[in-house]
């Protein structure tokens, strides 16, 4: 294929990825809708007076009706197809431009979606986290649409400052960490929802009925963040500075991008500490994780678009 064909193929793959993710999202919506909520205190009693397991509740549960489970499986299968298309789009983009597809915001966004979905699917392999299916697919659908509508630029070679193998190392690690922080942020939001419902005694209704217990979500969120944090440390505080030293003559110079990478790092470090500090555990820690994610997002969107500084080529 020629460059132009590759670039067109990439655009189409991304479009189809968004459509398939949207279908996956629909499947998960059906799954959520079919999961009946159970009000607390309402116990199902069989004819012999024995308690029956409550039908529904908690998408991770094993004793769910077959059809509800089936919709969830459709959702996951579609998510996998979406991921393949998404990854093919990223790959074709790189081939079209004859370089790594990490030169501008559009490319960062589509690669970030791959990282997020990949993190979710890998974690799903080991843990019953299907309750994340709907939030993850909904998020990537929105992100891909934003990328295509607002950020798309033609594929082009890189400016000389980016001619370095540290581009691969630094950006890959940053992307990987971003993927797990995104999944972690979704989990932290859901934790806050469920935690609040549990405190108010309304955990059996609404969204929180579809979620596992707050402790389970919290543990999951911690694991994703505990994976993302060392990777981010490597990306932002090791690989980044090494490259900066060669490209700009100093390993750390408080460029706006560096400032916000550091703020992100501090927020997540505080999150990991807060989980072990009395008074911060639970809600406080989850909020810190979201602060970290907000800093990460600001660094990506705000600094690229309005910040200027040495990383400005990452913008549109």
Partner 1 sequence: MTDLAEAPLDSRPPEPEQTPRALSPVELARWAWRQLTSMRTALMLLMLLGLAVIPGSMVPQTRVDPNAVANWQLLHPDLTPLFKRIGLFQVYGTPWFSAVYILLMVSLIGCILPRTRVYWRAALAAPPKAPKNLARLPASLTSTLDVEAADLASRARAQLIRQRFRTRVEEDSDGTIVVSAQRGYLREAGNLIFHISVALVLVAFAVGNLFGFRGGAIVVDGQTFTNDVQSYDDFAPGTLFRDSQLEPFSFTLKDFSVKFLTSGPAMGQASSFTGNLAYKADPKASERDATIQVNHPLAIGNTNVFLIGNGYAPVVTVRGGDGEVVYSGPTVFLPENASYASVGVIKAPDAKPTQLGFEGEFLPTYATGQDGQPVSAFPDLAAPALSLTAYSGDLGLGSGVPQSVYSLNKSKLTPFTDASGKPVTLTIGLGQTKKLPNGAGSITFDSVKRYARLQISSTPGEPLALGSVILGLLGLVGSLYIRPRRIWLRIRRTSTGSQVELAGLDRREGRDLNHDLTKFLDTLTKATR
Q: Where do contacts with partner 1 occur on this chain (CB under 8 A)?
A: 154-157, 159-161, 163-164, 166, 215, 219, 223, 226, 229-230, 233-234, 237-238, 241-243, 245-256, 259-260, 262-263, 266-267, 269-270, 272-274, 276-277, 280, 303, 307-309
Number of other CB atoms surrounding residue 165 within 10 Å: 9
CB nearer partner 1, residue 124 or residue 272: 272
CB nearer partner 1, residue 21 or residue 268: 268
Least distance (Å) from partner 1 to the CB of residue 98?
11
CA distance 94 to 90: 6
CA distance 316 to 314: 7
- In eight-state DSSP terms, residue 150 is I
CB nearer partner 1, residue 205 or residue 277: 277
Task: Let me know: does 183 contact 224? Beta carbons within 8 Å.
Answer: yes
Task: Let me know: does 158 contact 103? Beta carbons within 8 Å.
Answer: yes
Least distance (Å) from partner 1 to the CB of residue 23?
33
Task: Let me know: does 227 contact 122? Beta carbons within 8 Å.
Answer: no
Structural tokens at position 245 = 């030293």
CA distance 123 to 128: 8
CB nearer partner 1, residue 54 or residue 312: 312
CB nearer partner 1, residue 81 or residue 272: 272
Q: Which of 73, 42, 36 is nearest to 57 (CA)?
A: 36
Least distance (Å) from partner 1 to the CB of residue 254?
5
Least distance (Å) from partner 1 to the CB of residue 154?
4
CB nearer partner 1, residue 168 or residue 248: 248
Please count the CA atoms within 13 angstroms of the CA of 250 that sit on its side-chain side.
6
Least distance (Å) from partner 1 to the CB of residue 47?
34
Least distance (Å) from partner 1 to the CB of residue 212?
12
Task: Let me know: does 75 contact 124? Beta carbons within 8 Å.
Answer: no
CB nearer partner 1, residue 84 or residue 223: 223
Q: Which of 131, 163, 16 is nearest to 78 (CA)?
A: 16
Least distance (Å) from partner 1 to the CB of residue 245?
7
Name the residue with tokens 């707050």.
214
């Amino acid at each position: 294929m020629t460059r132009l064909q590759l670039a067109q193929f990439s655009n189409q793959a991304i479009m189809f990825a968004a459509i398939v993710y949207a279908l996956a999202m629909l499947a998960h919506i059906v799954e959520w809708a079919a999961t009946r909520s159970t009000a607390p205190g309402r116990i199902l009693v069989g004819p012999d007076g024995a308690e029956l397991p409550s039908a529904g509740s908690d998408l991770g549960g094993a004793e769910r009706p077959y059809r509800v489970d089936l919709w969830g499986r459709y959702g996951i299968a579609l998510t996998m197809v979406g991921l393949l298309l998404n990854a093919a789009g990223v790959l074709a983009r790189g081939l079209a431009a004859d370089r790594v597809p990490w030169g501008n915001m559009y490319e960062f966004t589509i690669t970030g979606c791959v990282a997020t979905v990949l993190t979710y699917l890998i974690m799903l392999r080991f843990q019953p986290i299907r309750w994340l299916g709907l939030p993850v697919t909904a998020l990537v659908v929105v992100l891909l649409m934003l990328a295509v509508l607002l950020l798309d630029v033609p594929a082009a070679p890189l400016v000389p400052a980016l001619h370095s193998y540290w581009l691969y190392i630094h950006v890959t690690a940053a992307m990987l960490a971003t993927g797990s922080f995104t999944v972690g942020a979704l989990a932290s939001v859901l934790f806050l929802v469920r935690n609040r419902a549990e405190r108010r005694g309304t955990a059996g209704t609404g969204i929180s009925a579809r979620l596992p217990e707050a402790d389970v979500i919290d543990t999951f969120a911690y694991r994703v963040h505990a994976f993302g944090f060392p990777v981010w440390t490597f990306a932002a505080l090791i690989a980044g500075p090494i490259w900066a030293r060669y490209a700009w003559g100093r390993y750390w110079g408080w460029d706006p991008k560096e400032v916000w990478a550091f703020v992100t790092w501090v927020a997540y470090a505080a999150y990991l500490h807060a989980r072990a500090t009395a008074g911060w555990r639970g809600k406080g820690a989850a909020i810190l994780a979201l602060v970290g994610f907000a800093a990460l997002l600001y660094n990506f969107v705000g600094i690229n678009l309005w910040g200027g500084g040495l990383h400005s080529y990452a913008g549109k």
